Amino acid sequence: MSRIEEKYIVRVIKSNHAKDSGNIGWVNPDTDRSNYWTTTYTQLEHADKDAELIAEAVGTDVDPKLIDQAMTPEYSERYAELFDKASAKKVDLGSSQQLQKFVKSQGLSPKETELLKTRHKINKNYGANEQFLGIGITKDVNSPGGLGIVETYSLDKKPGQLGDLEQAGILKRVGLTSY
C-alpha cells in the first residue's frame, strides 16, 4: 500500500449539497457507495493515465479497449460536443431508446455509438463528465487556456455525512466567496 504524501485533498461541492446531511459525492442508492473526484494526484500517480491501472486501483472491472478510446483527449472533445447537442435537445443519453434516436439523428457509426455509450456510462457511474479532458486535468471554463486542476478519482465504499466527518476531524468545510 502506498503512502499519500499530501496532507489534504480538495473537493468542491455546491453550497446546497454541503449541509451536515450531505455527502462528499453522490451516493448511489443501489450500492450505498459514493464516487467523486478530488485533487490529490499521488493516489493514482503509479497508474499515470492508464485507464486499466486506474480502474484496478479503485477495484473496478473494465473493458480497456473501449475505455482507453473513450477517455482520450480527442474523444473527450467529441463527447463534450455530443453531450451539449443531446442536452440542447433534452435527450437522456442514459435511455437506450433516446440514445438510439440521437445517434441516428447525428449519423454516428456503430463504433462511435459504442464510444458514446461507454463514455456516458463512465460519466454516469464515475463522474468523468463533459468537462473531463482525458489528460487527468479538468477543463476550466473560466480560463482562457481552458486547463484546470489535476484530478484523481476516489471511490468511497462507506461514505459518511459531512457533519459527522467534520465532527470527527476528518474534513473541514470552507465556504468560498464569489466576486
81-132 pLDDT, tens digit each: 999 999 999 999 989 899 999 999 999 999 999 999 988 888 777 666 666 6
Dihedral class, residue 162 (left if φ above 0, else alpha if ψ from -120 to 50, else beta): alpha
Report phi then psi at 137, rounded to 5: -130, 140
Q: Nine-digit cell at 75?
A: 474523444
36-61, pLDDT tens digit by residue? 766 654 555 555 555 566 556 545 55
Q: Looking at beta carbons, which pairs linking 4-10 to residues 24 or more positions away fall under 8 Å?
A: 4/40, 4/42, 4/43, 5/42, 6/40, 6/41, 6/42, 8/40, 9/38, 9/39, 9/40, 9/43, 9/154, 10/38, 10/39, 10/40
Q: What dihedral angle (degrees, nearest 10) is formed by the CA atoms of 116, 121, 126, 131?
A: 30
Within 13 Å, how many C-alpha atoms sit on residue 99's CB side? 15
| Residue written as grid cell 473501449 | 66
Domain limits, the chain: 30-158
